[in-house]
Amino acid sequence: MRSAHTVAQVRTAEAALLATLPEGTLMQRAATGLAYAVLDLLGGGYGRRVLLLVGSGDNGGDALHAGALLARRGVQVSAWLLGDRAHAGGLAALRNAGGGVVRGADQAAAAAGPDFRPGLPRHVDLVIDGITGIGGRGPLRPDAAALLKRLAGIPVVAVDVPSGIEVDSGEVGGPHVEATLTVTFGTHKVAHLVDPAARACGVVELVDIGLDLPTAPVESLQAADVAALLPRPTPEAQKYSRGVVGVRAGSTRYPGAALLSVSGAACGLAGMVRYVGSAAEVVKQHHPEVVGEGRVQAWVVGSGTDADAADHLQRALADEVPVVIDADALAVPDLQERLDKSGARDGEHAVLTPHAGELAAMLEVERAEIEARPLEHARAAASTYGAVVLLKGRRTLVARPDGRVRVNTTGTPWLATAGAGDVLGGLVGALLAAGLAPFDAASVGAWLHGAAAQAASEGGPIVAGDIAHHVPPVLRDLLRG
**230 & 166 share domain:** no
Give, for 279, the enclosing helix (H) or strand (E). Answer: none
pLDDT at 113: 38
**Pair (209, 319) in one structural domain:** no
- The Cα-based distances of 68 to 182, 219, 326 in angstroms read 19, 34, 54
| pLDDT tens digits for range 288-312 | 999 999 999 999 999 999 999 999 9
Instruction: Please compute the mean of the pLDDT values over residues 383-410 and round it to a whole number.
Output: 98
The number of C-alpha atoms within 13 Å of 115 and in the hemisphere containing its C-beta is 7
**Residue 263 sits in a domain of what CATH number?**
3.40.1190.20
Sign of CA dihedral 282, 287, 292, 296: negative
Question: Is the same domain home to 246 and 208?
Answer: no
Residue 185 has pLDDT above 80, yes or no: yes
Domain end, chosen from 219, 237, 257, is at 219
In this structure, what CATH number is given to the domain that contains residue 179? 3.40.50.10260
Per residue in 104-131, pLDDT tens? 444 544 443 334 444 445 689 999 999 9
SS3 156: strand
Exposed / middle / buried, residue 413 (Cβ in 10 Å: 0-12, 13-18, 19+): exposed
Q: What pLDDT digit, counting tens, does each position of 222-246 carry?
A: 999 999 999 999 999 999 999 999 9
Same domain, 184 and 262: no
Q: Is the Cβ–Cβ distance between 38 and 66 less than 8 Å?
A: yes
Mean pLDDT calculated for residue range 268-284: 97
Q: Residue 313 in 3-state DSSP?
A: helix
pLDDT of 443: 98
Nearest to 193 by CA among 380, 409, 368: 409
Chain length of the chain: 481
Residue type for 332, please?
V
Is the pLDDT at 75 greater than 50, yes or no?
A: yes
The tally of domains found in the chain comes to 2
pLDDT class of 103 with cuts at 50, 70, 90: confident
214/338 same-domain check: no
Maximal C-alpha separation, the chain:
80
Name the domain boundary from 199, 219, 239. 219
User: Is omega for the bond preceding 196 within 30 degrees of 0, making it cis?
Assistant: yes
pLDDT per residue as tens digits for the range 31-51: 999 999 999 999 998 989 999
Q: How much of the chain, in percent, has pLDDT values that exceed 90?
A: 91
pLDDT of residue 114: 38
Q: What local confidence, expressed as pLDDT, does residue 121 receive?
A: 55
Residue (of 310, 319, 336, 331) closest to 429 by Cα position: 319
Question: What pLDDT score was predicted for residue 346?
Answer: 83
How confident is the model over 453-475, as a mean pLDDT?
A: 97
429 neighbors 436 (Cβ within 8 angstroms): no
Mean pLDDT, all residues of the chain:
94
Last residue within a domain, chosen from 204, 219, 234: 219
Closest CA to 344 of 354, 352, 355, 353: 352
Is 476 found in the same domain as 461?
yes
Strand, coil or helix: what is 373?
coil
Q: What is the pTM of this model?
A: 0.94
Shared domain for 382 and 257, answered yes or no, is yes
- In terms of domains, do 300 and 206 share one? no
C-alpha distances in Å from residue 212, one per residue of 32, 140, 208 = 20, 31, 11
| DSSP string for residues in 221-262 | --HHHHHHHS----TT--TTTT-EEEEE---SS-HHHHHHHH
60 falls in which pLDDT band (50, 70, 90)?
Answer: very high
Closest alpha carbon to 329 in 447, 416, 429: 429
- In this prediction, residues 375-400 reach a mean pLDDT of 98
What pLDDT, in 10s, does the model give residues 9-24?
999 999 999 999 999 9
Determine the 3-state secondary structure of 277 from DSSP. coil
Q: Are 354 and 399 in contact (CB under 8 A)?
A: no
Taking residues 187-213, report their average pLDDT: 98
- At residue 150, does pLDDT exceed 70? yes
Looking at the structure, tell me whether residues 145 and 262 fall in a common domain.
no
| Cα distance between residue 20 and residue 298, in whole Å | 52
Long-range contacts of 445-449 (CB under 8 A, 24+ apart): 445/390, 446/390, 446/396, 446/398, 446/408, 446/410, 447/221, 447/226, 447/408, 447/410, 448/226, 448/267, 448/474, 448/475, 449/264, 449/410, 449/411, 449/415, 449/420, 449/423, 449/424
Q: Are 382 and 458 within one domain?
A: yes
Which residues make Cβ contacts (< 8 Å) with residue 206, sequence separation at least 6? 184, 185, 186, 187, 188
* Enclosing domain of residue 458: 223-480
Strand 397-399 vs strand 405-407: parallel, antiparallel, or unpaired?
Answer: antiparallel
Claim to verify: residue 359 and residue 215 sit in the same structural domain? no
Please check whether residue 272 is in contact with residue 288, taking contact to mean a CB–CB distance below 8 angstroms: no
Same domain, 379 and 239: yes
> CA-to-CA distance for 434 and 414, rounded, in angstroms?
29
| SS3 (DSSP) at 298 | strand
d(CA 26, CA 28): 5
